[in-house]
């Protein structure tokens, strides 16, 4: 539990964390963030030295707490997440009998900024992906031959799949060898909320994956299990290493710096520009809401102009 949490609050937060993890299927990262947000709220809620008095957790308290976040200069995205954490907590606390009524039902908070990540054009994306398998991996991992050759093969397959299947970095790290169907060009992905989906990928990714699977034994240890992508220590690859690989590949390719999420956004944008409909892209990306897909995909000015000229009667 976060530092400064009262003993009684800590027990309550442990129960809330179990609810998020086991019943809502939230990721460990989300659970930590939500629990930290609620702990901060409880620390400012009137009560005894042992525990916040939940009967005094009302709408004015919530509004003052959010106002305090604003005064500290919190980003709108952070404010939106904290409000979401509080709403989830109060709804759970009400259903669990800790609150007689949900005080957050009328709580308003600023919406998260709708800033979009960097988007590469198709040529830049291809250059970044193709740069991954070159000499000098530079991913921060100490590797010797034949490990270095395996790392290059892994990085090439990783970038091909991140872009080719528009995966989240967490999804790529969680992939298993058994989830691949190279002949069909499909991969089984475990997304947010432990929701499983099957995503297609193209022949370049299939070729890179076959090359990597032929080298995987040089890196994989017993602790790797069925993990598709592994690090030089023999374990399942971690998100930090993946981010380093993507940043390094962009630098080597001489394209704008990009993170894995930007590569995913680029893939979604290129699908849209290539004629895919939003519902198909939604399914591929694993978005629960079409509104989320609309945020992560946008029409380029060129496509907008071409569509206008083709469809508008006064064009």
pLDDT value at position 94? 92
Residue 227 pairs in a beta bridge with 176
- Is 295 labeled as catalytic in the residue annotation? no
Residue 197 pairs in a beta bridge with 189
pLDDT value at position 282? 86
- Is 192 labeled as catalytic in the residue annotation? yes
Residue 47 pairs in a beta bridge with 52
Q: Tell me if the pTM is above 0.85.
A: no
Residue 98 to residue 79: CA distance in whole angstroms: 25
- Is 287 labeled as catalytic in the residue annotation? yes
pLDDT in tens, 25-70: 887 888 999 999 999 888 888 765 556 678 788 899 888 888 888 7
**Main-chain phi, psi angles of 122, to 5 degrees:** -65, -35
pLDDT in tens, 275-304: 888 888 888 888 877 777 777 666 666 666
The overall average pLDDT reported for the chain is 84
Choice between 135 and 122, residue whose per-residue pLDDT is larger: 122
Q: Per the residue annotation, which of 6, 152, 264, 265 is the catalytic one?
A: 264
- Is 296 labeled as catalytic in the residue annotation? yes
- Is 261 labeled as catalytic in the residue annotation? yes
- Is 217 labeled as catalytic in the residue annotation? no
**Main-chain phi, psi angles of 235, to 5 degrees:** -100, 170
């Amino acid at each position: 539990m976060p530092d400064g949490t009262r003993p009684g609050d800590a027990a309550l937060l442990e129960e809330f964390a179990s609810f998020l993890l086991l019943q809502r299927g939230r990721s460990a990262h989300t659970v930590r963030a939500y629990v930290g947000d609620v702990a901060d709220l409880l620390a400012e809620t009137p009560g005894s030295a042992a525990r916040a008095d939940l009967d005094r957790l009302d709408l004015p308290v919530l509004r003052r707490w959010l106002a305090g976040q604003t005064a500290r200069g919190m980003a709108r995205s952070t404010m939106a997440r904290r409000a979401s954490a509080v709403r989830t907590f109060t709804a759970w606390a009400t259903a669990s009998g800790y609150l007689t009524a949900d005080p957050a039902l009328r709580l308003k908070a600023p919406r998260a900024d709708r800033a979009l990540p960097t988007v590469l054009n198709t040529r830049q994306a291809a250059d970044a992906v193709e740069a991954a398998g070159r000499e000098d991996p530079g991913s921060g991992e100490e590797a010797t031959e034949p490990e270095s050759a395996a790392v290059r093969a892994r990085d090439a397959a990783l970038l091909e799949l991140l872009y080719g299947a528009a995966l989240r970095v967490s999804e790529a790290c969680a992939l298993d060898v058994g989830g691949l169907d190279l002949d069909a060009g499909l991969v089984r992905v475990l997304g947010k909320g432990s929701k499983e989906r099957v995503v297609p990928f193209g022949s370049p990714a299939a070729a890179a994956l076959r090359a990597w699977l032929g080298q995987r034994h040089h890196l994989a240890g017993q602790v790797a299990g069925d993990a598709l992508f592994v690090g030089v220590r023999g374990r399942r690859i971690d998100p930090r290493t993946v981010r380093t690989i993507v940043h390094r590949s962009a630098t080597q390719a001489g394209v704008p710096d990009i993170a894995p999420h930007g590569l995913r956004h680029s893939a979604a944008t290129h699908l849209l520009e290539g004629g895919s409909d939003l519902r198909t892209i939604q399914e591929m990306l694993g978005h629960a809401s079409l509104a989320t897909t609309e945020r992560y995909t946008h029409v380029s000015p060129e496509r907008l102009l071409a569509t206008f000229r083709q469809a508008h009667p006064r064009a």
